Amino acid sequence: MQTANPASPLTILVDADACPVKEEVYKVASRHKVPVSIVSNSPFRVPLSPLVTRVVVDDGFDAADDWIAERAGPQTIVITADILLADRCVKAGASVLAHNGKPFTANSIGGAIATRAIMADLRAGGDIVGGPPPFSKSDRSRFLSALDEALVRLSRR
């Protein structure tokens, strides 16, 4: 059984309700011995590991987002596809990754928010139907690489 490195304040927070890369997070976190909090509005299975904590919040609007944002900081990696949550976490100094491995940064978050707003307006007007492309094997691979790189970078700080 592995335990977290007591000298390492690194942590991973996962916005888990619709996260397709939870297994990959467990794998990388275990290799680096970094604790993970899996945050959701409803309970589901997580591995029995001292590194993995399941956090079930109430079903209030943005309850999971609020829990994550309140704990995000410079030694935190947040995994989310929620652009508004990503913005809150970037502002708190956290490293933020989308499920496809794309980082949200101070330089990129404004454009992501603007694109989100434009797409919402177009959908509301009935101009666009559909969603993002299907999650692919290359997305999963890119995510694994990006998470590993982020953990290495933060551990060197």
State yes or no: pLDDT of 131 exceeds 70: no
Mean pLDDT, residues 97-117 taken together = 77
Q: Which residues have a Cβ under 8 Å from the Cβ of 54 and sit 6 or more positions away? A: 38, 40, 43, 44, 46
* 2 belongs to a structural domain: no
Q: Which residue has the higher pLDDT, 107 or 32?
A: 32
* 3 belongs to a structural domain: no
* 5 belongs to a structural domain: no
Mean pLDDT, residues 23-48 taken together = 94
How far is residue 127 from each of residues 64, 132, 134, 154, measured CA to CA in Å?
A: 31, 15, 20, 42
CATH of the domain at 100: 3.40.50
Q: Which residue has the higher pLDDT, 5 or 94?
A: 94
Domains held by the chain: number: 1
Query: pLDDT tens across 67-81, in order?
Result: 999 999 999 999 998
3-state secondary structure of 115: helix
Domain that residue 64 falls in = 11-155
Burial class, 140, CB count within 10 angstroms (exposed 0-12 / middle 13-18 / buried 19+): middle
pTM of the model: 0.83
* Selection from 60, 70, 62 nearest residue 13 by Cα: 70
Name the band, by pLDDT with cuts 50, 70 and 90, for residue 135. Answer: confident
Name the band, by pLDDT with cuts 50, 70 and 90, for residue 130. Answer: low
* Selection from 41, 42, 34 nearest residue 13 by Cα: 34
